[in-house]
Amino acid sequence: MFKRNILITGGAGFIGSHVVRLFVNRYPEYRIVNLDKLTYAGNLENLKDVENAPNYVFVRGDICDYERMLLLFREYGIDGVIHLAAESHVDRSIRDPFTFAKTNVLGTLSLLQAAKTCWEGNYADKKFYHISTDEVYGALAFDGTFFTEQTRYDPHSPYSASKASSDHFVRAFHDTYGMPTIVTNCSNNYGPYQFPEKLIPLFINNIRQGKPLPVYGKGENVRDWLYVEDHARAIDLIFHKGKVADTYNIGGFNEWKNIDLVRVLVRTVDKLLGKPEGTSDRLITYVADRAGHDLRYAIDSSKLKNELGWEPSVRFERGIEMTVEWYFENQTWLDHVVSGEYENYYRNMYGKSSC
């Protein structure tokens, strides 16, 4: 018997895999059920080190499949949800907004409805924690202001519009049905196991291979970067100590102009390759800007610090070094992702080929 049965959705993805690892190792008294569809972004190789833990279960499934979610809640007696499953890449949302609306909006709704059906009348000790993004707040000017929990939603991309919609559904389930929900909005994460379509792992891989580094527009857009393990720690803290029906912003107070960040990456990778400083600068290539590219994001996470005592623990320069070193030391992981071989891991591990 486990003390709690926690459903983590999207646990085979980048952030989800760090959250699963942290919970499996830190809470042997909990059963951790990792539900993931294994889209292109889901990779069970991210979780090799915990896959045989006695308190860990992997289930392949789609959050949009309401009947399946209902069965899952009942089979495992789920009493807590940490919901990360989503389509997460802005460029993909520009090409294919429907998939984002389906997974991020309808998928979240189907999960909420399954939780409501199973929990209604007995919400004590239940929690539905939804992981969202700072992108729902829109864009800031270069004026020193920050997104706070009071900032009005103003999403610009299909991705952020879908996440904003899912946030509203989560809050509506609290306000309408009394479901104990929490929403957090986090800034850009970086670190091990990030899919190499996102800026940092894509550029580390390209520098290593001597390929161009496609900087969108003038490279002047600003993002606020947080080491992924700090985000996972915040999720753990908020899941256990956060106030129901509340919202917390999570961020690093760590703003970087894209081009400055790219220069740090170039310097760090060149150093590790033993090349003279500046060798790979020639790879920087300015390309057409992302449509609707938000100028600046910056999160004010002081509420989380003041109320729950969370602060980022990894300094950015060190975090980037650790990240670059990780991608160098885990070339097989990267090769498998780039070649697509990672998609065979589920079949080899579980002897099945589909959901």
Residues involved in catalysis: 134-135, 159
- Rounded to a whole number of angstroms, the CA Rg of the chain reads 20
Residue 84 binds which of ligand NAD, ligand DAU, none (CB < 5-8 A, kind-dependent): ligand NAD
Q: What is the DSSP string of 85-152?
A: -S---HHHHHH-HHHHIIIIIIIHHHHHHHHHHHHTT--TT-EEEEEEEGGGG--B-SSS--B-TTSP
Amino acid at position 83, single letter: H
Contact 319, 231 (CB under 8 A): no
Residues of this chain, 16-45, that bind ligand DAU according to CB under 6 A: none
Residue 216 binds which of ligand NAD, ligand DAU, none (CB < 5-8 A, kind-dependent): ligand DAU
Q: Quick one: 28 or 97, whose CB is closer to ligand DAU? A: 97
Spatial distance between the Cα atoms of 45 and 342, rounded to a whole number of angstroms: 7
List the x/- string, 159-198, binding to ligand DAU by CB under 6 A: ----------------------------xx---------x
Q: Quick one: 90 or 114, whose CB is closer to ligand DAU? A: 90
Contact 37, 60 (CB under 8 A): yes
Neighbouring CB atoms inside 10 A of 170's CB total: 23
Amino acid at position 4, single letter: R
Report the nearest approach of ligand NAD to the CB of residue 193 (Å): 8
Residues of this chain, 133-162, that bind ligand DAU according to CB under 6 A: 133-135
Q: Pick the stretch among 169-177, 216-224, 232-240, 325-333 that binds ligand DAU (CB under 6 A).
A: 216-224
What token pair was written down for 282?
A: 């020639």
Residue 15 binds which of ligand NAD, ligand DAU, none (CB < 5-8 A, kind-dependent): ligand NAD
Compute the residue count for the chain. 355
Tell whether residue 108 is a contact of ligand DAU (CB under 6 A). Answer: no
- Interacting residue ranges for ligand DAU, rule: CB under 6 A: 88-90, 133-135, 187-188, 198-199, 202, 214-216, 221, 223, 258, 290, 297
